[in-house]
Chain A
Amino acid sequence: MTISSAPLAGIRIADFTIHAAGPFCTHLLSQLGAECIKIESSTRPDAFRKPHAVYGRMTAATFDQVSANKLSIRLNLKKPEAIALAKRLVSISDIAAESFRPGVIKRLGLDFDALREVKRDIVMLSLSSCGQTGPDSSFAGYAPLFGAWGGLGAMSGYSDGPPVEMRHVMDHSAGLHAALATLAALNQRRRTGQAQYVDLAAREVASAMIGDALVVASQGLAPERPGNADPGMAPHGVYASAQPDRWLTLAVRNDAEWAALLQVLGVSDDDPRFRSMQGRIQHRAALDAQVQTWLATRDADQTAEQLQRAGVCAHVSWNMEDIASDPHLRERETVVPVSGPGIPERLAVGAPAKFSHTQDVGIRRLTPALGQDEDYVFGELLQLSSTQRRDLEAREVIC
């Protein structure tokens, strides 16, 4: 099952993560070549295997991005024998990852100290809402709460409106940061031979996203919520075009780009307030109104192309259909077609990074059926006989 030429070829992950943030971490590592063994049970399957009324999904998902590339086994972690098997799996793994509420993994007997006894140099990741320590560590939460706690939600929003709710990007940003920290620990293990325990709090990732504002606040100042504005650039924002709900994003960084913008739009601006960046920033509201008037009759896509040719930062606000049909993203294999038995071709997000020498990075297999890889994991890796496996199934250790 080893991916021979990917950067993480030969690395094995015992993956106890559930929902979105933790599984995104291990999904990224699996795209980089790690062998990721997902551990669930029929009594506690991961969320994508169940209907999700909030999203209007009335059946299990046929494709789940963050589960792609993973192998699947069943272990009923309420049974001591299942815990013993989980430890055996960890003993032949490099990384163990979990995202239960703090305290659960210790109650199961699979905490860092326990795993280090079976694998002296294990790299363990625990990903949670608020971290493994501190007075809020038991708090339950989802992506919007991470953003709220961390300060990112309050800093995002219109200046005269409420805070803005973060969604899956917040989960996945937590998973991304967990992945890079886990890999750093793996590199450390190579140098020291020591185990490491990585403790990631998703709300702290949200705080890291406002690290600059926190520096401002630490000086006794109140950071401003800028909305779509940028304190150092004008015009800067999101503007309506001639097409309904087709918005043009624009960031003018200096006077030369301002001149280029005017040239592309075929307008001359005689307003002395707008001749310097300082003036444009000072009179931002009037400037935005003027720019909006100019752009309101233009085609957003054509204008973005023209502005980029003139060296001005512009891009249309893209929906997922735009992304799905973009030749650039297809050429980069960031958007890739995937298909499998019972899964008509669809699009997924491919390799997170492009490597010049180590190939085989990206999606190699789709969402696993529950327990589909037990012959390999229980049979080949853990050397359980068919009789033993049948017995464990009968006693609902494997179920």
Chain B
Amino acid sequence: MQIDGSVNTGNLPLAGCRVIERSRSVAAAYAGRLLAVMGAEVTMLEPPGGSPLRQTAPLLPDGESALFAYLSVGKRSQVCDPSTEAGRKELASALEQADIFIDDTPVKDRASFGVDPASLGDRHPNLVHLSVLPFGSVGPKAHWEGEEVNLIHAGGEGFLLPNGLTHELFPDRPPLKIYGYFGSFQGGAMAALGAMAAWWAVPASGGQYVDIAVQDAVLAVGCFALQRLGDGSLEHRSTRSFRYGGVFETRTGYIELLTLEDRQWASLVELLGQPDWSQDPALKDPLERSRRGAEINQHIREWMAQNEADDVVQRAQKLGVPVGKYRQPEEVINGEQERARKLFAPATLCNGATAQMLVAPFQFHVTPLQGGGKVPAIGEHGGILS
């Protein structure tokens, strides 16, 4: 950390990469966040009232958005309104110096804002113009709007949740989305990947336009369900459960147990204390175990209910049985593993408070990421021409 609180990015993977970000969506902002933590200089161009993400839940008691803080830490903020002539000049000036432009302007507004791909490409031949929209910028639904709940269902994963114990308990309830912005984060990560690939290709091909759809990204990470369709199986949340294993309640919380290999099953039997029911020779056959999954799960549930989660996890992992505890956020922040790996770093919120902020879900051993930094106030780094 430097004296002014900014992060020294000199030796980080993306040092020297200059990114201009116009984001109103989580996906576009997450793309910028990923690039920023890896060392790119990411400047948000916010509208005069600030990014709408600054008001997006979850909010801290003083009204500051925890989501915006997470997405914007380490970035710079300037105010720019491309709906005005002056704003468009400012934007064009900013893009003169940029390597990557993250842009989630709706397709219908792009020409009037001066960000249509063709003219941007002409003016900035080495610029990677990264479009991030709910349904992409090409195709019959390019103009469709979508929030997270729409997009995770448009990409197919929403229909398949919840599975396992939750569906067993509440079979008649509507499908259930994953917490927060899982689908949008996939869109942002895919956008960062696309940007990295296009930036790599600049010496050979020059800059170019990269079109990312959150729907596409959700489907990409859910590709196994499409593969299953090709195999003849239409997946459904009611049948996507593991035949045995899954979520179990212990005396001190929930755990996840999954044994896919024979040796793991043998170790599970050992963990359970070699109970009589497990000694049935027929259960050595994985297909027979699948057929009798409900019966097996009932036995496991009874055993789990007598035990404590942390103890089960420790004993199981020593035996090579894949078991993990369903941890609450405060357990993650205070986890020994997370502390050992320095997953969190202190960051300064707009309100001046310090938060433990997740650095990044990857590490670079040769040039470790630093994380931390500041969440910028609106226009903290001025207007572009000022």
Contact A218 B176 (CB under 8 A): no
What 0/1 readout, one digit per residue, does chain A (161-182) give for beta carbons within 8 Å of chain B?
A: 1111111110011101111110
The answer, yes or no, to whether A237 is at the interface (CB within 8 Å) is: yes
Distance (Å) between the CB of A73 and the closest chain B CB? 24
**Does B3 belong to the interface (CB within 8 Å)?**
no
Instruction: Assess whether B32 is interfacial by the CB under 8 Å rule.
Output: no
Which of A151, A162, A176, A181 is the one whose CB lies under 8 Å from B247? A162
Q: What CA separation (Å) do A153 and B257 show in the bound complex?
A: 13
Docked-complex contact B366 and A195, CB < 8 angstroms: yes
State whether A54 and B363 are in contact (beta carbons under 8 Å apart), knowing that A156-B176, A318-B154 are contacts in the complex: no
Main secondary structure of the interface of A (DSSP, over half): mixed
Assembled-state Cα–Cα distance A354/B215 (Å) = 13
Contacts of B356 in A (CB 8 A): 214-215, 218
Q: CA A242 – CA B219 in complex, angstroms? A: 26
> What's the nearest-Cβ distance from chain A to residue B116, in Å?
12
Minimum CB–CB distance from A253 to chain B (whole Å) comes to 7
**Which stretch, B52-60, B80-88, B274-282, touches the partner chain A?**
B52-60
A236 contact set on B, CB distance < 8 A: 147, 149
> Bound complex: CA of A334 vs CA of B226, how far in Å?
12
Return the chain A residue nearest B208 by Cβ: A357
Most buried by B among A5, A335, A352: A352
> What total of chain B residues lie within 8 Å of the partner, measured CB to CB?
158
Interface pair B38/A181, CB less than 8 Å apart: yes
Judge whether B233 is part of the interface by a CB distance below 8 angstroms: yes
Instruction: Tell me the B293-334 residues at the A interface (CB within 8 Å).
Output: 317, 320-333
Identify which of A144, A174, A219 contacts B60 (C-beta below 8 A): A219
Tell me, in angstroms, the Cα distance from A230 to B158 when the chains sit together: 15
Q: Tell me whether B13 and A184 are in contact (CB under 8 A).
A: yes
Closest Cβ of chain A: how far from B263's Cβ, in Å?
11
Instruction: Decide: B193 and A353 in contact? CB cutoff 8 A.
Output: yes
Report yes or no: A65 in contact with B70, Cβ–Cβ below 8 A: no
Are B256 and A144 in contact (CB-based, < 8 A)?
yes
Cα-based distance from A201 to B362 in the complex (angstroms): 7
Please determine whether A148 and B179 come into contact, CB atoms closer than 8 angstroms. no
Distance between A191 CB and nearest chain B CB, rounded to angstroms: 7
Q: Contacts A148-B326, A239-B174, A249-B149 hold; do A331 and B139 have CB atoms under 8 A apart?
A: yes
CB-CB under 8 A from B256, the residues of chain A are 144-145, 147-148, 153, 165
Contact A7 B197 (CB under 8 A): yes
CB < 8 Å neighbour of B57 from A232, A247, A253: A232
Asked if B179 and A169 sit within 8 Å, CB to CB, the answer is no
B209 at the interface (CB under 8 A from A): yes
Q: Is A130 an interface residue (CB 8 A)?
A: yes
A327 to nearest B CB, angstroms? 6
Measured in the bound complex, the distance between the Cα atoms of B210 and A352 in whole Å is: 10
Would you give 12 A-B contacts (Cβ < 8 Å), ordered by A?
A24-B221, A57-B231, A63-B227, A134-B338, A139-B324, A214-B70, A231-B58, A319-B156, A331-B140, A334-B216, A356-B117, A358-B198
Given pairs A151-B327, A198-B362, A212-B58, 20 additional interface contacts (CB within 8 A)? A5-B205, A61-B227, A65-B226, A66-B223, A136-B317, A138-B317, A148-B254, A156-B162, A165-B247, A180-B192, A184-B38, A187-B13, A188-B12, A198-B363, A201-B361, A207-B332, A212-B67, A251-B147, A319-B159, A357-B209
